[in-house]
Structure 1
């Protein structure tokens, strides 16, 4: 009896089987033969592979002290506090990063002082330096998303600036990876401020925003329509000194963490949306879920101020990052801990080098993708 090899299968059946293999494994097989090398770059195959990739393939990252580290396992499943974080190695090379964001397995990396902007696929190792139209400015912020109609990846550059009359305005530009070009979007006068870096869900970017008159709200940038859209948050606050941090739950839902830090409240509340539809058009907050944590229960030496977090909705716990001075000696540390209503466990603590507001730790999870950058 002859044994059939995968190469003997019809092309359609071979493609269907390979589409179910995690992208990271496929990336290691791309040099096996020319047919596979070509297949793994086919946008239709890449899209099918993303939809069929198992959640078991999810990976995690930590940004700490301007460096990116790979973390073993899926940090969304953070209920097991018996094991410390296992770092698989440093991923960033020659980049002094102060923030990263991700979309579809692609990372958007901003270097310190916006000296450079890089799109990076950690699965394939591809990187692309994004050159500015003229120059980047220190106030610039960036978001990565895609256009639903063409699946074209785009970068939004936005920033708050003053004109000659000392009037504030928001300046926006759009970069398209397919054409390697920038173009201006219409600038506008803002009546709000952005309180945190954006997070990507279904190709669009969401921000926590607010103003004195309107309080906190959710701001979405629609990359297909190329416009900002205001949406509600599950809480009301008119104190601009409150903190609101967003996170994405398994690429399906949005969650928000709210703290009233300046009122010396050590209570954190996290809400989560229902599953957001494929087009990202419908967003509603669960009425039966809120994770409330009073950190005073755990007799911590300093007030908690969450910089980033990941929510395990099923176990009702969160993995949080912040910067603290536990011994009140002016020595700040990056701290990661797992917390629930009745539990707290610190799992990481690291001295900060060159402490600043732009050096907050950040955790994220993503499913590796074969998306081709160039």
Structure 2
């Protein structure tokens, strides 16, 4: 009785304070609070909880950022508005004796996947909350491609059972966080021609628990690119649709990203003309309606002296990172010398071009990242250990 009475008193007191402050001022105060505190503040009231799910609020938070860059020795975040700010990030993985930057970064929705080497495995990282969860290596699982969940189970983020998908020379495997088990899945293949797909980029793009890639099938000299997916709910690969830009040269930049939270955007730059095209899906992407994906051209940029976003001699995984916001195209890529740059384009004009001087090492890995308050997935044993502490 006393506990319930005291809790009601606290809630009434909080409500009274909220009424005394304008909502705009409350938002401003919360935008300066550490992200770790925002997670705890969710229980204050329904309005606060809804605010923390608002992407506009997250984007306007004082510590938000849009890109992450990794060199041989350090990891950085890069915020864009109102000016470009570079901060060093710390990746602290419990259980590792030596805390060194990962070998590879895979941007996948709310999380980053930090791949070490075959002997050490990988970590799931929420850099905004500075939370990590470790995945011990499994024999034969060499390359991590992404993280997702069974989208048919629940829409509640906290109830998602997250899984990662890995590949080796012979197999594809799923790691289940809840049970800490591994399972071999059917190898990817074309549903129509039974030919092996070649992933344009090994990193999958996560949308509503499903992973998507740009892929092509066997004809490497003049490949037709397609949208390819893996559904964790059915544990199967699917050949979705042709991409709207038709036949492409392997030297073109071609990058798939999530657009407006429930659709896709596709950036293509011709390596000869430097012309940039942005395509977006007309409707939201749904696994139930995968056969009716319609693409439309959002913008075409023909800007004189625009740089090549995929430098000569680089690999598919060195593709540019980008996002579209308020009719702007913001791109992070490296120039021919390996220096990282941020380009901002609006109304068919290059508004700004800024070199990231504080990132000294050349050829940093980079990816787009939108901060999230979703905690990293943990296995049952990790949760029990936290409760004991």
Give the structure-2-normalised TM-score. 0.69
How many equivalent pairs are there?
320
Structure 1: distance between partners of 2:350 and 2:119? 39
Identify the structure with the greater helix proportion: 2
1:212 deviates by 5.0
Unaligned runs of 5+ in 1: 14-19, 162-168, 326-330
Give yes or no for the alignment of 1:290 onto 2:295. no
Partner of 1:328: none
Partner of 1:180: 180
The answer as to whether partners of 2:52 and 2:58 remain within 8 angstroms in 1 is no
Structure 2: distance between partners of 1:52 and 1:335? 30
Structure 2: distance between partners of 1:205 and 1:57? 24
The answer as to whether partners of 1:145 and 1:204 remain within 8 angstroms in 2 is yes
Equivalent residue runs for 1:135-284 within 5 Å: 136-137=141-142, 140-150=143-153, 151-159=160-168, 161=169, 171-187=171-187, 190-196=195-201, 197-211=203-217, 213=219, 215-231=224-240, 232-261=242-271, 264-276=272-284, 281-282=289-290, 284=293
Structure 2: distance between partners of 1:114 and 1:245? 30
1:193 deviates by 0.9
Partner of 1:320: 331
Equivalent residue runs for 1:5-154 within 5 Å: 8-9=10-11, 27-28=36-37, 52-58=53-59, 59-60=64-65, 61-66=67-72, 67-72=74-79, 83-93=82-92, 94-103=99-108, 105-111=110-116, 115-134=120-139, 136-137=141-142, 140-150=143-153, 151-154=160-163
Match of 1:57, SS state, is helix
1:276 deviates by 1.9
The answer as to whether partners of 1:208 and 1:218 remain within 8 angstroms in 2 is yes
1:174 deviates by 0.3
1:361 deviates by 2.4
* Distance change in 2, residues 1:70/1:238 (3 Å): closer
Match of 1:233, SS state, is strand
Partner of 1:166: none
The answer as to whether partners of 1:64 and 1:362 remain within 8 angstroms in 2 is no
Segment of structure 1 superposing worse, 175-184 or 106-115: 106-115
Give the structure-1-normalised TM-score. 0.71
Structure 1: distance between partners of 2:197 and 2:293? 22
1:255 deviates by 0.9
Structure 2: distance between partners of 1:50 and 1:220? 32
Match of 1:132, SS state, is coil
The answer as to whether partners of 1:212 and 1:239 remain within 8 angstroms in 2 is no
1:344 deviates by 4.2
1:7 deviates by 5.1
Match of 2:356, SS state, is strand
Structure 1: distance between partners of 2:305 and 2:249? 26
The answer as to whether partners of 2:162 and 2:377 remain within 8 angstroms in 1 is no
